[in-house]
């Protein structure tokens, strides 16, 4: 058998597709600051982490599988595993509960962590295990911890990681609680959307640590001063992830767009502002600000956490534009 259990032709195809994916990501300049991430993406076989996935179509979801009886089906599965797209990997009652993120976005987030050798990283949302494998390649198994609420997800992630030759610590539990027994961490990276910054994350960070997490369709990079204080700006890129799951985390209500021009409704940047100011500004107020400030990009916004308070801001923490966010949240008591 060829590379990682594949037959000759498929092994050659996997190597070629992975090389093409790395070349595509590399062209964006993402790997320039730390070429070790290029090595990681070149070395870690994504196909081992997505033995099946779902592709949406007019008739619902099509399942692509590594053990399809049709050789052309196996080839479609393998080519798809190396496309620069997110892959739906787990559905429950027709709802997506886990996925493998878009590789170029994963590369950007990993590069933005700005890790040094020996950095200890906590990943919130184990997914398929692919991101944990990339972290393990760069930092070593002993420095990587990944957590997910769903035991089926952690079990499959652990199996995929072992198949690829990596053994980071995989924990089943509520990601909002962090993993105190593995603290302190130099970096916390979340691959699920938040509505607030869980207080255990800050408490489990070393001073100067970085928390990188999806929030309001963006990626916030917070530098941690201590257990109660953190501050940082959003990256320029949009980011859409499955929500952080667990007790008492309701889905946001749909936004009514009455009175907002069509071009704003269709604007990703306007929708980001709406998500960031949800419950504080209505769409008309948000639209007036968005127009007045020249349709600001995500990188002009930031978040400050100060004790039990948190707020988002445009351009500067002290305003003039600042909006309260849910404060650092303590997870609900564990059920026994």
Calculate mean pLDDT across residues 208-216: 97
Taking only the tens place, the pLDDT of each residue in 141-167 is: 999 999 999 999 999 999 999 999 999
Instruction: Supply the pLDDT for residue 247.
Output: 43
Domain tally, the chain: 2
Q: Are residues 147 and 292 in the same domain?
A: no
13: which DSSP letter? H
pTM over 0.75: yes
pLDDT of 1 strictly over 50: no
The H or E element containing residue 296 is none
Q: Are residues 313 and 212 in the same domain?
A: no
- Residues identified as active-site: 101
Taking only the tens place, the pLDDT of each residue in 238-278 is: 998 888 865 444 455 556 677 899 999 999 999 999 999 99
Rounded to the nearest 10°, the torsion over CA 325, 181, 123, 205 is 50
Helix (H, G, I), strand (E, B) or coil at 307: coil
Q: Are residues 163 and 293 in the same domain?
A: no
Q: What is the 3-state secondary structure (H, E, C) of 148-186?
A: ECCHHHHHHHHHHHHHHCCCCEEEECCHHHCCHHHCCEE
Where on the phi/psi map is residue 60: left (φ > 0), alpha (ψ -120 to 50), or beta? left
Distance CA 288, CA 115 (A): 40
Q: Are residues 90 and 164 in the same domain?
A: yes
Give me the chain's average pLDDT, please. Answer: 91
CATH assignment of the domain containing 72: 3.40.50.150
Q: Are residues 106 and 198 in the same domain?
A: yes
Question: Is residue 115 included in any domain, yes or no?
Answer: yes
Q: Are residues 16 and 140 in the same domain?
A: yes
Taking only the tens place, the pLDDT of each residue in 271-325 is: 999 999 998 999 999 999 999 999 999 999 999 999 889 999 999 999 899 999 9
Q: Are residues 83 and 213 in the same domain?
A: yes
Q: Are residues 267 and 127 in the same domain?
A: no
The DSSP-derived string for 55-85 is EEETTEEEEEETT-SSHHHHHHHHHHHTSSS
Query: By residue range, what is the domain housing residue 302?
Result: 262-325
Closest CA to 310 of 239, 205, 215: 215
- Sheet of strand 95-100: strand arrangement: 60-65, 52-57, 87-92, 95-100
Question: Is residue 195 included in any domain, yes or no?
Answer: yes
Length of the chain: 336
Question: Is residue 334 included in any domain, yes or no?
Answer: no
């Amino acid at each position: 058998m060829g590379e990682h259990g594949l037959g000759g032709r498929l092994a050659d195809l996997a190597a070629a597709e992975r090389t093409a994916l790395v070349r595509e990501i590399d062209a964006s300049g993402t790997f320039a600051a730390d070429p070790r991430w290029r090595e990681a993406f070149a070395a870690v076989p994504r196909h081992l982490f997505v033995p099946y996935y779902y592709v949406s179509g007019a008739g619902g979801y099509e399942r692509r599988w590594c053990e399809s009886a049709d050789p052309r089906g196996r080839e479609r599965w393998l080519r798809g595993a190396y496309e620069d797209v997110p892959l739906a990997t787990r559905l429950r009652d027709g709802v997506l509960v886990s996925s493998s993120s878009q590789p170029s976005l994963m590369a950007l987030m990993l590069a933005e962590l700005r890790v040094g050798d020996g950095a200890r990283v906590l990943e919130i949302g184990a997914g398929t295990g692919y991101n944990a494998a990339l972290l393990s390649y760069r930092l070593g198994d002993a420095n990587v911890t990944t957590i997910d609420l769903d035991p089926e997800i952690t079990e499959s992630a652990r199996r995929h990681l072992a198949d690829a030759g990596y053994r980071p610590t995989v924990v089943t539990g509520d990601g909002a609680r962090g993993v105190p027994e593995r603290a302190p961490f130099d970096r916390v990276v979340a691959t699920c959307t938040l509505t607030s910054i869980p207080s255990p994350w800050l408490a489990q960070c070393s001073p100067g640590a970085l928390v990188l997490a999806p929030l309001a369709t963006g990626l916030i990079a917070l530098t941690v001063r201590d257990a109660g204080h953190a501050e940082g700006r959003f990256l320029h890129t949009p980011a859409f992830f499955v929500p952080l799951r667990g007790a008492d985390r309701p889905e946001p209500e749909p936004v009514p767009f009455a009175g907002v021009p069509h071009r704003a409704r269709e604007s990703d940047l306007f929708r980001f502002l709406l998500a960031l100011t949800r419950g504080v500004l209505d769409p008309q107020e948000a639209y007036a600000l968005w127009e007045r400030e020249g349709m600001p990009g995500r990188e002009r916004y930031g978040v400050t956490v100060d004790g039990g308070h948190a707020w988002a801001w445009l351009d500067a923490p002290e305003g003039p534009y600042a909006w309260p966010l849910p404060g650092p949240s303590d997870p609900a008591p564990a059920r026994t």
